[in-house]
Amino acid sequence: MYRHSVRRQFATASVLREWHQIPLAPPDKILGITEAFKEDKNPNKINLGVGAYRDNTGKPIIFPAVKKAEKKLYDNEKEKEYTAITGSKNFQDIVKNFIFNNSNKDPNGKKLIDEGRIVTAQTISGTGSLRVIADFIARFYNSKKIYVPKPTWANHVAVFTDAGLQPEYYAYYDTSKNDLDFANLKSSLQKADDGSVVLLHACCHNPTGMDLTGDQWEQVLEIIQQKKLFPLIDMAYQGFASGSPYEDISLIRRMTELAVENKIPTFALCQSFAKNMGLYGERTGSISIITESADQSKAIESQLKKLIRPIYSSPPIHGSKIVETIFNEGLLDEWLADLDKVVGRLNTIRQKLYDNLDKSNYNWDHLLKQRGMFVYTGLNPEQMKRLRDEFSVYATDDGRFSISGINDANVEYLADAINQVIKK
């Protein structure tokens, strides 16, 4: 009895010593910016760090179509039961039809759906879908190496590394020219290990906002076929390029065509409704895996369930029910109009920022080529520090601005601050 007590005390003391040795983790870069912004007393301060939409008064919004969907749920919802491990069948079908069948416009997508070649699971937004597919690849794919664009969303590398994958960069953006580095992009992909995984941004590349043209995508997809790479597509900003979700998925339409032709027979897509429906905190997204056969789909779906069950058991239901209500109860057109209005404001304020910038010693034309929620300014860390210290403008050190934080009330102040820090 005494010996057991001593052992327990010794074990407890050892554990406590282990806890005391845990180092302090560095703060998240984006969240750290928000905290510093909150503490700043300057009435002209601007937060350009967080990628969440703000209206022209600087306030967050709820899409009107989303409010109507929630009202319908409030009036008619009868239960809050758990959903299935991979989410509701209704949600899965909506995602498949909306993205791959282009809302009944794409015969190739319809063929894949009808043949049972698409496995879709609801996940915890975009980050959750990325982590699920990363874990899945680490367990079942024959390569652990994943090539990501340089630069890419900072959390990509963290998610893939924590899942046991081995991220490496391929060339994407030339900071000296503020433009796509397409020649080196192709060259670096051609040097990738055969059969490895490659991460592609479907549209509104984060952080640069610089997307490939249709012809450039064709060249990249040709390399993917030659090298037998497995494409993992991240689509967090569908609709934010053009204002139309349908126009923004040209890459997906081409991928479904190649899948039907068995030229790229299998790929994966991570998708989120966080941005294009404003469902940030609802954490509503999906993962879809295009397979080579219905039998393969059954095996993959079973392993997805086995993987998800010990992580979070099943996804939250409120956000997915909002999506289902918008698509199934007459709110789709209103949501599309809401989204187009949001993107229209971003494009307008992007133009206003450009118009107010001094172009005598710096070329700002790249701002108008970029698409989506961000502008990748090309400002260096020293200039970003000056913006923060002297003008209370908060953004990441790589010069990425969340354009939704800019509005009619602060665009001239921001442009003047930028003009001052780039003066030679």
Residues in the chain: 424
- Whether pLDDT at 2 is above 50: no
Kindly state the average pLDDT of the residues 180-204. 98
What pLDDT, on the 0 to 100 scale, is given for residue 11?
Answer: 55
* 3-state DSSP assignment of residue 63: coil
Q: Are 395 and 48 in contact (CB under 8 A)?
A: yes
- Whether pLDDT at 68 is above 80: yes
What pLDDT, on the 0 to 100 scale, is given for residue 35?
Answer: 85
* pTM reported for the whole predicted model: 0.92
Considering the four listed CATH numbers 3.80.30.20, 3.30.70.990, 3.90.1150.10, 3.40.640.10, the one that applies to the domain covering 26-62+333-422 is 3.90.1150.10
User: Where do the DSSP E strands lie in 101-160?
Assistant: 118-124, 145-150
Confidence of residue 424 (pLDDT cuts 50, 70, 90): low
Residue-wise pLDDT for 310-327, tens only, equals 999 999 999 999 999 999
DSSP state string for 366-400: HHHH--SSEEE----HHHHHHHHHHH-EE--TT-E
Q: Are 331 and 65 in contact (CB under 8 A)?
A: yes
Tokens 């900072």 — which residue?
154
Residue-wise pLDDT for 70-129, tens only, equals 999 999 999 999 999 999 999 999 999 999 997 778 899 999 999 999 999 999 999 999
Residue-wise pLDDT for 337-362, tens only, equals 999 999 999 999 999 999 999 999 89
Q: Which residues contact 352 (CB under 8 A, 6 or more apart)?
A: 406, 408, 411
Share above pLDDT 70 across residues of the chain, in percent, rounded to a whole number: 96
Kindly state the average pLDDT of the residues 6-27. 68
Q: How far apart are the first and last CA of the chain?
A: 78
Question: Which sequence positions are flagged as catalytic?
Answer: 153, 234, 275
| Encoded amino acid at 331, one letter | L
What pLDDT, on the 0 to 100 scale, is given for residue 398?
Answer: 92
Domain 26-62+333-422 and domain 82-329, same fold? Reply is no
CATH class of 82-329: alpha beta
Share above pLDDT 90 across residues of the chain, in percent, rounded to a whole number: 88
> What is the rounded average pLDDT for all residues in the chain?
94
What is the residue extent of each domain of the chain? 26-62+333-422, 82-329
41 burial level (CB within 10 Å; 0-12, 13-18, 19+) = exposed
Confidence of residue 31 (pLDDT cuts 50, 70, 90): confident
Lowest mean pLDDT segment, chosen from 102-111, 174-183, 299-308: 102-111
| Encoded amino acid at 305, one letter | K
Confidence of residue 4 (pLDDT cuts 50, 70, 90): low
Shortest CA distance to 114 belongs to which of 260, 258, 314, 238? 260
* 3-state DSSP assignment of residue 176: coil
Partner residues linked to 179 by β-bridges: 174
